[in-house]
Amino acid sequence: MQDRELKLNSLSRYAKSSPLFILEEHGHCEVPAGCGGVVLRWRDPRAGVPFTLWSHTPGRVRLWLDGTEPPSSRPVVGFGEHALALAIEGVDPAFMVLMFAAGDRPDQDRHVKRSAPELVRHTLTTADDGTWRYTFDEPRDDSWKLPGFDDSGWPPMVRNEERPPPEDPEKWDPAAYRITKLTGFGAVGLGVEGRDDRVWIRKEFTIPAPGGQEA
């Protein structure tokens, strides 16, 4: 007992361990246990990577991962091919349209503790590399949200980190906080070339399986 002092609301309170699963301790005022409490979850690291999603857009956005809206801002994403899709309304093409980052960043998430490291680490960020594509024409069906969709006719997004001036410079700007956080993750601001205020965006990515195994 001297080697491991038991503490309330901590992983050290539980002696159970597993060679196959990771025990997560979620501690935050927004978890069901409330402030001061924790939620414990066993998770199989072979099932995929926990992806925490961060984004900034001045418009109204809907997001899909492989055609489905994630149940939370921290879904577990399996190994293999994936497609991220966003529909944004109310944008001004003269300014930044999107900054986005997703991935497993335990060094940046002080609300989650783990009993073991992940098998695979992966991050996804907006980049001016031609792989984030958009269209102003509303897609005919949901196939654009899925991996394998032919978006070769969609133009690539371009780097644009310009923002409209704040309505009240004296007030705290939550967007500036999000942008600073996203910049720290390596994301860049992307824009579009055109005049429409509605845009559909997609990005395909791959999460490699542990040890080069088939996903």
Distance CA(123)–CA(105), nearest Å, equals 8
Tens digits of residue pLDDT in 124-174: 999 999 999 999 999 999 999 999 999 999 999 999 999 988 777 778 888
30 Rama class: left (phi>0) / alpha (psi -120 to 50) / beta: alpha
Retrieve residue 96's tokens: 């930044």
State the pLDDT at residue 171.
83
Q: Is 215 among the domain residues? A: no
Q: Judge if 1 and 25 occupy the same domain.
A: yes
As given in the structure block, the two tokens for residue 14 are 């539980």
Question: What tokens appear for 57 in the block?
Answer: 């857009």
pLDDT of residue 63: 97
Residue with tokens 């720290």: 184
The answer to whether the Cα torsion of 107, 109, 115, 121 is positive or negative is: negative
Q: Which helix (H) or strand (E) holds 103?
A: strand 99-103
Which residues, 6+ apart, have CB-to-CB distance to 71 below 8 Å? Answer: none
9: containing domain: 1-43
Domain CATH number, residue 126: 2.60.120
> Given this model, what pLDDT does residue 16 score?
58
pTM value is: 0.75
Predicted local confidence at residue 168, as pLDDT: 78
Measured CA angle at 101 (ends 210, 153), to 5 deg = 90
* Domain identity same for 14 and 96: no
74 and 13 housed in the same domain: no
Give residue 164's pLDDT.
84
Pairing mode, if any, of strands 80-89 and 198-207? antiparallel
Low-confidence ranges of the chain (pLDDT < 50): 1-4, 6, 33, 115, 119, 215
